[in-house]
Amino acid sequence: MLLDCKEAWDVIMEEWENIMDCEDESMFGDCVNHFEYTCRSCPLLFEYVNNTWIIPYNTYFVKAWTNKVMHLGNTTTNRVESTHWNLKKVLGNSMGDLCSCWDAIHNVIVLQHNKIKVSFEISLNLMSEAYKGIKYKKLVGRVSRYALGLITKELERANLIGLDTGRCGCILRRTYGVPYACELARYAPGMIPLGEFHVMWTRLSISDIVSNESQPELSIQHELTMVEEKFKEVEIRGKVTIKQKLLDIVCPAMTSMIPPLHKVKTKGAQKKKLQRTEVYKA
């Protein structure tokens, strides 16, 4: 039976959202039962959803379980599916050659890259009246705007619940790596420290993704020691070869390689003129 009535479909989707937004494991069974009752006119729909999603994957998308892990807002495969759909739309079909597919994939990646850079520029440079308070003084221009939006809602809750951890729930720290309501209440009316945010929200550059962390120093001292030991072991011919290769790296202008004196034809074999021989018949 098809669901032709929009109102019936809206009710089913509402019950499905109740399953996903269920915050307590003890209430999960009741939400599933309500969803099954709503789908009584279309039992095949409930059977498909129950066997395909609810039973095997409920811990991956229901809040009762996802609120216990650090997911940084990624609780579904929507982003992956959306990117996959966009790529298939650009490719059109599976009959293209390697060059055309490469160009299409490259254009999609460049577009995504530009969108990410735009979001970074907004977080770095765009000022907003909502974030001009003293609480945000250490955060504006250093933390993602999305993270600022999260703690804005938590600050509103902090004004109501204060330091009451029971009413707070303390979920945002586990899931997004940002301060939760009762934690933000401790900083009132002072500034919120930058160290309270997960490093994910402070990386506002693609070329230099580590902002507040020390980058490891890259060294070739170990390799140079190995080359020196190898140089001492080999004979005079090997010493000359190693020295020449090092000169090719350090001083490319001193390389022993020279271009050929004459232009060499690289296409096709050299053609020879064939002499015709006349055959006389008796």
Domain holding 27, by residue range, is: 6-66
Closest CA to 66 of 32, 30, 21, 29: 21
* Cβ neighbours around 31 below 10 Å, total: 21
Unique residue bearing structure tokens 């053609």? 271
Give the per-residue pLDDT at 71: 83
Residue 178 in any domain: the answer is: yes
Paired tokens of 72: 């940084």
Give the per-residue pLDDT at 174: 83
Residue 112 in any domain: the answer is: yes
By three-state DSSP, how is residue 135 classified? helix
Unique residue bearing structure tokens 């009741």? 30
Residue 101 in any domain: the answer is: yes
Both 186 and 234 in a single domain? no
Both 135 and 155 in a single domain? yes
Residues contacting 229, CB < 8 A, separation 6+: none
Both 135 and 182 in a single domain? yes
Residues contacting 70, CB < 8 A, separation 6+: 174, 175, 176, 177, 198
Q: What 3 state SS string does 46-61 have?
A: HHHHHHHHHHHHHHHH
Unique residue bearing structure tokens 């506002």? 204
Residue 186 in any domain: the answer is: yes
Number of domain units in the chain: 4
- Whether 280 has a pLDDT exceeding 60, the answer reads no
Both 197 and 136 in a single domain? yes
Give the per-residue pLDDT at 193: 83
Give the per-residue pLDDT at 46: 92
Taking the C-alpha atoms of residue 201 and residue 173, their distance in angstroms, rounded to an integer, is: 13
Give the per-residue pLDDT at 258: 66
pLDDT tens per residue across span 144-192? 888 888 888 888 888 787 777 777 777 888 888 888 788 887 776 678 8
Which of the listed ranges 44-48, 172-176, 220-224 does the model predict with the highest average pLDDT? 44-48
Residue 263 in any domain: the answer is: no
- pTM of the complete model: 0.57
Residue 233 in any domain: the answer is: yes
Average pLDDT over residues 130-134: 81
Domain boundary among 40, 66, 92: 66
Residue 275 in any domain: the answer is: no
Residue 114 in any domain: the answer is: yes
Domain boundary among 20, 41, 66: 66
Both 141 and 179 in a single domain? yes
Give the per-residue pLDDT at 15: 92
Give the per-residue pLDDT at 266: 63
Taking the C-alpha atoms of residue 7 and residue 49, their distance in angstroms, rounded to an integer, is: 20
Closest CA to 202 of 134, 124, 118, 112: 124
Whole-angstrom CA distances from 247 to 62, 79, 172, 255 are 62, 50, 57, 7
Taking the C-alpha atoms of residue 131 and residue 155, their distance in angstroms, rounded to an integer, is: 12
Paired tokens of 281: 């018949």
Which of the listed ranges 28-32, 89-93, 163-167, 258-262 does the model predict with the highest average pLDDT? 28-32
